[in-house]
Amino acid sequence: MPDNQVLISEVGPRDGLQNCSAIMDTETKKRWITALAASGIREIEVGSFVSRKLLPQMADTATIVAHARTIPGLEVAVLVPNLKGAQMAVEAGAHKITLPLSVSETHSIRNIRRTHDEVIEEAERISALIASLPQDQRPHFEGSLSTAFGCTLEGPIPEAVILTCAERLMQAGCDEVGLSDTTGYGDPASIRRLIRSVRAVVGVENLTGVHLHNTRGLGLANALAAYEEGISTFDCSQGGLGGCPTAPGASGNIVTEDLVFMFESMGVSTGIDLPSLLEARQILAEGMPDETLYGFVPDAGLPLGFKQARATVPAE
């Protein structure tokens, strides 16, 4: 990917909606995802294959995956907690599967009811499942290092634990690892430090994405620090929805609209048309009328004379 281009991965339909008390109806989800893709978003985490009893908001994920797969050029991503979820994701046709491994073992047990060793076993089983598929049907497999910058249940996690988890996920067969600031503990210095440390053990090419929360208002600063370290994929959620139901105090993701505006203002292309993105927000607002939506750009509007960036491909 060129230096002046990033991939924005919209996680609102999964991470955003899972933290809402109300349930967005399936048809509105479809319209929202279609509008997000029409704005230029090329990767959307559309849901998770988890227990319907625990997260009824995600009960229609298979239907949503089927719809999202009809949208040309869209990478359809899902989260799974175990092999069963991965099997459902493969059957539905997801292009990308993310398995969370919380580096805080306390959170891991509370979140997906598995210790570190048990998550690694699930990763090995999922990897074997993917390897059994024809080459052109294999989804991309990411292992997410959740609570990597701190946990509301354990506090700071020793770096040695994080690095061991990263190495074990790659050894288990993940295509890459991602860093997740699940609880919004990160700051620009810790973002830089941990990216460098993890890349030193898994390789630069195997850590390209971050999932950052804006709990204490540092989301954009942290994203900029990650970009300056060479990270090219950024998770975010329209309206800043999100949080982790099993991590007390974890609030929403970076606001997609604000993150896109920051990069575009810098001359870094996201490929996303901001006016169209703001139109997609209206579908979200209408579908979840009781939810507070955040974002400075939606409130202030685009500045007079604003022009979006265009990526340049380096000459070979």
Residues forming the active site: 244
Could you give the angle at the alpha carbon of 181 between the alpha carbons of 180 and 187, nearest 5°? 130
Q: Is residue 295 a contact partner of residue 283, using CB atoms and an 8 Å limit?
A: no
CA distance 11 to 14: 6
Let me know: does 29 contact 286? Beta carbons within 8 Å: no
**Residue 19 region by backbone torsions, left for phi larger than 0, else alpha for psi between -120 and 50, else beta:** alpha
Look up residue 290 and give its amino acid. Answer: D
Give CA–CA dist 146/226, Å, rounded: 16
DSSP 103: S
Angle at 231 between CA 203 and CA 94, to 5 degrees: 85
Q: CA dihedral in degrees (128, 134, 136, 140; nearest 10)?
A: -10
Alpha carbon of 56 to those of 190, 244, 276: distances in Å? 35, 15, 29
Return the amino acid letter for 64: I
Angstrom CA distances, 195 to 49, 135, 247, 283, stand at: 28, 30, 23, 35
Pairing of strands 209-212, 233-236: parallel
Distance of alpha carbon 54 from alpha carbon 295, whole angstroms: 29
